Amino acid sequence: MGLPALALGGFGIGLTEFVIAGLLPQVARSLTVSTATAGWLISGYALTVAVGAIAVTAATAGLARKPVLVGLLALFVAGNLLSALAPTYGVMLLGRVVAALCHGSFFGIGSLVARRLVPPERASRAVASMFAGLTVANVLGVPFGALVGERWGWRATFWAITVIGAVALIGIAVLVPGWAGTGGDGADAGAGAAAGTRGGRTDLRAQARAFRSAQVWLTLTATALGYGGMFGAFSYLAYTFTRVAGFSTTDVSWLLVVYGTGLVVGNAAGGRGADRDRDATLLVSLAGLTATLAVFGVLASSRGASVVLVFLLGAFGFATVPGMITRVTDAAGGVPLAASANVSASNVGNALGAWAGGLVISAGFGYAAPLFVGAGIVTAGVGVMGVAAWMAVGGVGGGEGKGQKGEGRWERRAGCER
């Protein structure tokens, strides 16, 4: 029962990230700020996630994981409560920053706890189950926020998210077993010396040493490039739909739901595939994402093709998530900092991809151009992932990057003790 509680936490955090997009006009009017200023409620959140994922995980390195997860959700509840009550824009922004601090660490540490709840051969599927909450939030977040905000005001949306966070906190506290939040007697036992884990507590210097592995850096780079290509294109999809394909602005919402449905399907399929052959699944997913972006760029003026391709964009894009997280944590010997660094890498990729997409639009290449830029970025990701897989087969590059069947040595040594 621990996985549903983790998924609910992911759902709440995902809602907080995505819901603001549909509420921005209301919030700007209510707090008497410009739309551009209100936009910092989105970008400020993303920047905090990128930095906080590593900083918070490092700061809690000496603590057992289950109490840390409970504490992170308490921070999440506090941030959203602050947003719901915010009398001024400054307080609202502070609430967003406080809530964002838990984002990366929750998914990083939570993914390690999730994989301890299942046998090693189901590790990627367990991570996918936790991230299912995030993908569903992507589908429901904006329409949920818009509906609740329209009916009861934008503050009601943040009250609802606060309640969801509180329920998830209680669920994790009650349903996640104590042994899943420690590292001394299970998945981490065999890696204690390498990863510096003692009874679920990890020495920060030992965690930092895990980043000497070339496999860790190659996986983080492939993550950033994969996300950068997908979200660099996604950031401008509304313009692609309306200015190139000829959809109306009212069509954009359901098209984004199609994209979000692709995320849900891709996340589940990627978890299953990674448990069978992780590196092959990652290479196929990244190659599929490259092809989808390139074809989308060519066929962007076709409405029918756009519907199919935006689904595939989400599916191939998120099929990489479970495998990338289990791969980087295996390569790092199971340290939480590596899993959180993966979340940071994805956010860095998002920012760089959106920046590159904006450049080509500003240069006058049109609103389909970010799709081709995205294809180029992901192509580089395929190359990096190919090098990582080749080095892993040859046992080159340090760490435990082999992962051909989705199992790292740090889990296999433990014998999946329960």
Compute CA 2 distance to the chain's CA centroid, rounded to the nearest angstrom.
19
Q: Same domain for 137 and 215? A: no
Q: Which of 138, 173, 201 is the last residue of a domain?
A: 201
Is residue 416, in this structure, part of any structural domain at all?
no
Which residues of the chain, if any, have pLDDT below 70?
Answer: 1, 142, 179-204, 395-418
pLDDT, residue 190, reads 36
Residue 202: in which H helix or E strand, if any? strand 201-202
Q: Same domain for 42 and 96? A: yes
Compute CA 166 distance to the chain's CA centroid, rounded to the nearest angstrom.
21
Per-residue DSSP letter, 268: H
- Split into its structural domains, the chain has a count of 2
Is residue 366, in this structure, part of any structural domain at all?
yes
pLDDT, residue 29, reads 86
| N- to C-terminal Cα separation, the chain | 15
* pLDDT, tens only, 330-353: 898 877 788 888 888 887 888 788
Q: Same domain for 71 and 193? A: yes
pLDDT, residue 415, reads 38
Q: Which of 201, 225, 246 is the last residue of a domain?
A: 201
Is residue 169, in this structure, part of any structural domain at all?
yes
Query: How many residues does this entry show for the chain?
Result: 418
Q: Same domain for 310 and 214? A: yes
pLDDT, residue 198, reads 46
- Residue 134 belongs to domain spanning: 1-201
Dist. CA 128–CA 401, nearest whole Å? 19
Q: Which of 201, 230, 250 is the last residue of a domain?
A: 201
Q: Same domain for 170 and 241? A: no
